[in-house]
Every structure is written in C-alpha cells, then in structure tokens.
Amino acid sequence: MSEVTQTEMSDLMEASGSSECSILLSTVRAVSSWSRKNSMWPLPLGLSCCGIEFMATAMSRYDMARFGMEVARFSPRQADLLLVAGTLTYKMAQVMTRLYDQMAEPKWVISMGACASSGGMYRSYSVVQGIDEFVPVDFYISGCPPRPDSVLNVLMKLQDKIDRDNTYNLTLETPEPGAAAPLEEQTVLGGRRHGPPIALATAGERFVKPGPQRSMARGVKPEETR
C-alpha cells in the first residue's frame, strides 16, 4: 500500500469540503484485530452445568452482548470461538473434534470450567481429563461452574490475545507457479497458532512486506502491535 503524501492528504481534505477528514489511518492488523475481537461468534458447546452459567453470562445481568459475542452460532461453519462448557466424555469427544475441525480459521478454544479443563471432579472411566487431549486450548476458566464474571474476564483476555496474536502475513511477492507457499511454524506466546498464517496475496499484486512476523516472544512491545 503506498503512503498517502501530505499534499494528497490536504487535497482530499479540500475536496471533501470539511476540515475534518473522513479518513482513518491505521494498520491492517489493528483494524482486523479490532473487528475480530469485537465480533466473536462463539459456538457454545454447553455440555452440562457450565452451559447454564454460560447462558447466564449471555443474559441481561452479565450481558455478553456488550462484547459483541451474543451471536451464538451453533453451526461450526459460522463460528470462530469454540467454548466448551461442561464435562466432555469419550463418547462426545468424537463429536467435539469433528466440530473443531469444521470450524474455519482463525479459531479459538476456551475451556470453561473444571470439567472441560481437567476432568474436574470426575476421575472416572468415561470422562476425558481435559479437552486439551483433543483440541488445543487458548484459555482455561477454572471454577465449578465459573461465575459469569470469570467468563467475562476470560473473554476480555481473549480479546487482548487477539490483539497481540493477530498476524497478517502481508507478503508476498507472487509465488512462483508450482512453488508451495511458505508455512512458518510460529510459536506465539508459547502456544501454537491454529493453522497457517493468513496470506493476503492475490495473484499479480505486489505488497510491501512489512517485516518478519511479530510476536511477543521477540520482544515487541504491546503498544507497537496496536
């Protein structure tokens, strides 16, 4: 993207006829993370009691809609946050992994409650001792069930994580025909990203490469990523 020069800027301002400009200058990352974190569509996998507290979080008193998350999409194709609330059994684990696989990138997983995080109070023959045996988890919420306040806290932390983690690989020079796109294994904040980086490249266009993937691990201050 080319820089807008000062003269062009003032021309635009004159043309629009106002002293305030209706142009926002920002980075793609900031805008994309702002839009992603404020419009998360959770897939509430309300398996047991934590599902009820999740419903309470979404209702008027604790109101998850303030964060843009009240759109609970029960189809994994339309959701980007898998919120596992409740005890996962081996019989249900097949279903949960299928749901996780059906979700499109970028996706996040929150394990709500003690049962989802570690099997909880059920150390028995049929309970999975933590959903991270099957899916990678971004956040664990402890509690049996966690209060809706805890859930909101973690949702806000998730928003912060999206801010930090949101990576846009604004390469590339057009890849040679036949060459595979580079897939970088990234470890961001000690966890692994769900899937390959998003490549915003269309054939024939050239984007300026903004530099290597930024991450906290490389000592980038949080302010710089906003």
Partner 1 sequence: MVGPCVVTSRCRATTGSGTKGAAMSDHETIVAKPPLPTGENPEFADIRLDAGDDPGERMVLNMGPQHPSTHGVLRILLEIDGERVVTAVPDVGYLHRGKEKIGESLGYHRYIPYTDRLDYLAPLANNCSATWAFEKVCGIQAPERAEAIRTIGCELARISAHLLGLGAYAMDVGAMTVFLYTFSERETLYNFFEYLTGARFTTTYTRIGGVSRDAEEGWLKDVRAFAETLHAKADTWENLLTNNRIWRIRNEGVAVITREMALSYGLTGPVLRASGVPYDVRKDRPYGFYDRVDFEVPVGRHGDCYDRYLVRMAEIRQSARIVTQVIDQMPDGPILADEPKFVLPDKQGVMTGMEQLIHQFMLITGEMDTPKGEVHSHTELPKGEGGYIIRSEGGAAPWRLKYRAPSFVNLQILKDIIPGNMIADIVAILGSIDFVMGECDK
Partner 2 sequence: MDRVTQSCMVYTDEAPEGVSDAVKTALKPFEVKWSVHPEHPTFGGHGGWPGCLVSNEDWPKVFAALKDEANFEYLVDHTAVDYPDRKPERFTVLGLAQNLETQERLMVRTRVAEGGAVPTLTHLWMSADWAERETFDMFGIRFAGHPELTRIYMPQDFDGWPLRRDFPMQGHNRFRD
* Selection from 85, 108, 99 nearest residue 37 by Cα: 108
In the bound complex, what is the minimum distance in angstroms from residue 126's beta carbon to partner 1? 5
Q: Binding partner 2 by CB under 8 A: which of 90, 98, 182, 192?
A: 90
CB neighbourhood size of 104 (10 A): 11
In the bound complex, what is the minimum distance in angstroms from residue 73's beta carbon to partner 2? 28
Q: Binding partner 1 by CB under 8 A: which of 32, 87, 159, 169?
A: 87
Q: Which is nearer to partner 1, 30 or 93 (CB)?
A: 93
In the bound complex, what is the minimum distance in angstroms from residue 51's beta carbon to partner 2? 20
Rule CB under 8 A: say whether 20 interacts with partner 1: no
Phi, psi (deg, nearest 5) at residue 98: -65, -40
Cα 23 to its chain centre, rounded Å, is 27
Q: In whole angstroms, what is the distance from residue 137 CA to residue 111 CA? A: 7
CA angle 75, 81, 82 (to 5 degrees): 70
| Site residues (CB under 8 A) for partner 1, limited to 25-64 | 45-49, 51-53, 55-56, 59-61
Here the tokens at position 130 are 């933590």
Here the tokens at position 42 are 């959770």
**Footprint of partner 1 (CB under 8 A):** 45-49, 51-53, 55-56, 59-61, 72, 74, 86-87, 89, 91-92, 94-96, 99, 121-122, 124-127, 144-145, 147
